[in-house]
């Protein structure tokens, strides 16, 4: 649970029922099934065009950083479009999100304090900008997510402007970094398994089970911290007392040999792949369907259009985060080399 001071600007991901459940239901009325079942599939044309434009920008380059030149740009552009951020404001949103994500890795022993300060200021600027956009949507119905939330009079009542801004911030920050990691982890895994890369090039429909296996094998989130036990519970003969702080090791569960046959093998043909890549329970990632589709289209087009891609450095450098798992850079070469 967030502190009392932080609750005003916290998203529902940090809340417990019943407050969490109400805010999540309001958000999901406009973000997915059953009320808006076509939202993600309706974005296919925009997703494909955005991916194509980004690949066009790097197609002729001998060396590409999949993170900086592609993955970090794609999901943020999509989320801005979904929220209704004006195109002219998108560069500011990109800068704010980048400053916030850079500050997450802040190490007081090695990093300048400016790195942390920029992240703090970016959070304030982002929330202020989102609040202004929400104010502009009142009594002005529209198709973007901010307009729908600002004018929603559903059974759970309307979110406050602050709650809408916090929800939008959640989509921009949590949805950005996790999808960047998923795409980058995906390309890294494919380049380490060239036979699977070639299969995807020859069989584009393979991408659906492939992304599910990727979410199991190399998930973008390895740990979910900040949970508490609601009651005494026994797990593997160990008593966890009520109120205990818990960290959920998603990546460990995804490699559990009691659940998955040959868990350390990347196998896109794996059956019954009930992974924990998007968490589970009431906090199951509500942006999961969009992240799946973004990654499916991104990997399909990268594999189809890049010319004989190969890793420059393996392993690549990773973020200094025990929670989020993904390369901070993923340099590849293409062409004859």
pLDDT tens-digit readout, 293-302: 999 999 999 9
Contact at 8 Å (CB) between 52 and 298? no
Question: Is the per-residue pLDDT at 193 higher than 60?
Answer: yes
Predicted pLDDT of residue 3: 35
Predicted pLDDT of residue 37: 81
Element (DSSP H or E) covering residue 331: strand 331-333
Work out the average pLDDT over 242-253: 92
CA 202 – CA 206 distance, rounded (Å): 9
Task: Retrieve residue 73's tokens.
Answer: 């740009």
CATH architecture assignment, domain 7-333: Orthogonal Bundle (1.10)
Q: How far apart are the first and last CA of the chain?
A: 52
Predicted pLDDT of residue 9: 53
Long-range contacts of 71-76 (CB under 8 A, 24+ apart): 71/179, 71/180, 71/183, 71/184, 71/187, 71/298, 71/330, 72/98, 72/176, 72/180, 74/50, 74/179, 74/183, 74/294, 74/298, 75/175, 75/176, 75/179, 75/180, 75/183, 75/291, 75/294, 76/172, 76/176
- Tell which wins on pLDDT, 55 or 6: 55
Q: How would residue 337 be classed by pLDDT, with cut points 50, 70 and 90?
A: low
SS3 292: helix
Work out the average pLDDT over 84-94: 95
Question: Is the per-residue pLDDT at 2 higher than 50?
Answer: no
Q: Model pTM?
A: 0.91
Question: Is the per-residue pLDDT at 259 higher than 90?
Answer: yes
Digit-coded pLDDT (tens) for 141-180: 888 999 999 998 889 989 999 999 999 999 999 889 899 9
- Tell which wins on pLDDT, 9 or 93: 93
């Amino acid at each position: 649970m967030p502190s009392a001071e932080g609750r005003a600007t916290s998203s529902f991901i940090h809340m417990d029922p019943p407050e969490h459940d109400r805010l999540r239901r309001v958000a999901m009325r406009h973000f997915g099934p059953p009320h808006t079942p076509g939202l993600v599939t309706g974005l296919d044309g925009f997703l494909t065009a955005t991916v194509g434009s980004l690949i066009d920008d790097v197609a002729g380059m001998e060396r590409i950083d999949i993170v900086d030149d592609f993955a970090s740009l794609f999901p943020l552009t999509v989320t801005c479009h979904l929220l209704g951020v004006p195109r002219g404001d998108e560069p500011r949103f990109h800068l704010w999100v980048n400053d916030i994500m850079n500050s997450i890795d802040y190490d007081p022993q090695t990093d300048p304090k400016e790195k942390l300060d920029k992240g703090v200021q970016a959070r304030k600027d982002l929330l202020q900008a989102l609040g202004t956009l929400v104010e502009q949507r009142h009594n002005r119905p529209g198709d973007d997510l901010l307009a729908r939330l600002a004018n929603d009079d559903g059974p759970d009542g309307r979110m406050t402007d602050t709650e809408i801004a916090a929800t939008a911030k959640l989509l921009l920050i949590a949805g950005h970094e996790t999808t960047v990691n998923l795409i980058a982890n995906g390309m890294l895994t494919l380049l380490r398994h060239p036979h699977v890369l070639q299969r995807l090039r020859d069989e584009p429909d393979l991408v659906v089970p492939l992304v599910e296996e990727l979410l199991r094998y190399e998930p973008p989130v390895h740990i979910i911290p900040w949970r508490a036990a609601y009651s005494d519970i026994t797990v593997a003969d160990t008593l966890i007392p009520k109120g205990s702080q818990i960290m959920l090791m998603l990546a460990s569960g995804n490699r559990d040999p009691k659940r998955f046959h040959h868990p350390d093998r990347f196998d896109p043909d794996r059956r019954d792949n009930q992974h924990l890549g998007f968490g589970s329970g009431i906090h199951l990632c509500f942006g999961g369907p969009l992240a799946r589709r973004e990654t499916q289209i991104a990997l399909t087009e990268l594999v189809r259009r890049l010319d004989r891609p190969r890793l420059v450095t393996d392993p690549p450098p990773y973020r200094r985060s025990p929670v989020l798992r993904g390369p901070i850079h993923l340099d590849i070469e293409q062409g004859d080399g």
